[in-house]
Amino acid sequence: MNTALRLVMAALITMAIVACQPKPKPTEEVPPGSETTTEGAAVEGAPDPRDYTDARNFDNPESLLSKRVVYFDFDKSTVRAEYRGIVAAHAAYLAAHAAGRVTLEGHTDERGTREYNLGLGERRGNAVMGLMSAQGARGDQLVVVSYGEERPVCRVSDESCWAENRRVEIVYTAR
């Protein structure tokens, strides 16, 4: 094999590796340096998805820590049973990581007035905060910000879309 061909192959392999890198999810806010390296994962193996104190589980689709949105019923702020596990997982992480900080962003669908929805979004954020606090997260680790109906993820005026917009996003500002 001549040198030129070797160089071309090396270039192709490099490109293939770059192309295979997982794209960062735009909704996740991960501070620089906190991401686990692929070599580390390869050496130690996949983390136990039920170990909610393990930061690697933030990117492990098997783990509840990778889920960071809680959805609500119309005009309600009760955390439904199916989302309690997610809330508990993040509470466990925060309890184990004193430096961890979370903003609970409360959102609503477009029905109802904008200022009332600011109140409703805050109620949802507070409901998640209350559960997390009861499960070991400290008050100074949690901040609720309500966006009301101002930051929809879906813009069609129907129930499937409204259901996606009625949510609390668990956003880590520090892990």
Partner 1 sequence: MTVTENMKKIIFLLLALLVHPLAQGQLQIEIISGNASALPIAIVPFSWEEPDPAPLTGVAEIVSNDLYRSGLFDPMESKDMPDRPSDEESIRFGTWRLLKVDYMVIGKVRTAPDGQGHELIYQLFDVHTQEKLLSQITTVGQGDLRFGAHRVADAIYKALTGVPGAFSTRIAYVTAIGTGKATKFELVVADADGFSPQSVVGSPEPLLSPAWSPDGKKLAYVSFEKGNSAIYMQDVSTGARELVSSGRGINGAPAFSPDGKSMALTLSRSGNPEIYIKNLATGAETQLTNHWAIDTEAVWAPDGKHIYFTSDRGGKPQIYRVPVTGGNPERVTLSGDSNARASIAPDGKRIAVAQGRGNEYRIAVWDTESQRFTILTPGTLDESPSFAPNGSMVLYATREGMRGVLSAVSADGNVRQRLILSDGDVREPAWSPVIR
Nearest CB to partner 1, comparing residues 71 and 147: 147
Q: Is 71 in the site for partner 1 (CB under 8 A)?
A: no
Q: What is the 3-state secondary structure (H, E, C) of 27-78?
A: CCCCCCCCCCCHHHHHHHCCCCCCCCCCHHHHHCCCCHHHCCEEECCCCCCC
Stretch that binds partner 1, among 31-39, 57-65, 80-88, 141-149 (CB under 8 A): 141-149
Bridge partners of residue 104, in order along the sequence: 144, 170
Which of 6/151 has CB closer to partner 1? 151
Q: Which of 97, 133, 147, 163 binds partner 1 (CB under 8 A)?
A: 147
Residue 163, CA distances (Å) to 107, 109, 153 in order:
11, 7, 10
| By the rule CB under 8 A, 153 interacts with partner 1 | yes
Binding mask 102-121 for partner 1 (x = CB under 8 A): --------xxxxxxx-xxx-
Task: Provide, rounded to whole angstroms, the least separation between the CB of residue 120 and partner 1.
Answer: 7
What residues have CB less than 8 Å from 166, skipping those under 6 apart?
71, 72, 73, 74, 107, 108, 109, 124
101 in contact with partner 1 (CB under 8 A):
no
For position 174 contacting partner 1 by CB under 8 A, the verdict is: no
Question: Which stretches of the chain are assigned E, i.e. beta strand?
Answer: 69-71, 101-107, 142-148, 167-174
**Backbone dihedral angles phi then psi of residue 131, each to the nearest 5 degrees:** -65, -45
| 122 interacts with partner 1 by CB under 8 A | yes
Nearer to partner 1, 14 or 173 (CB): 173
Binding residues vs partner 1 (CB under 8 A): 26, 75, 110-116, 118-120, 122-123, 126, 144-147, 150-151, 153, 155-157
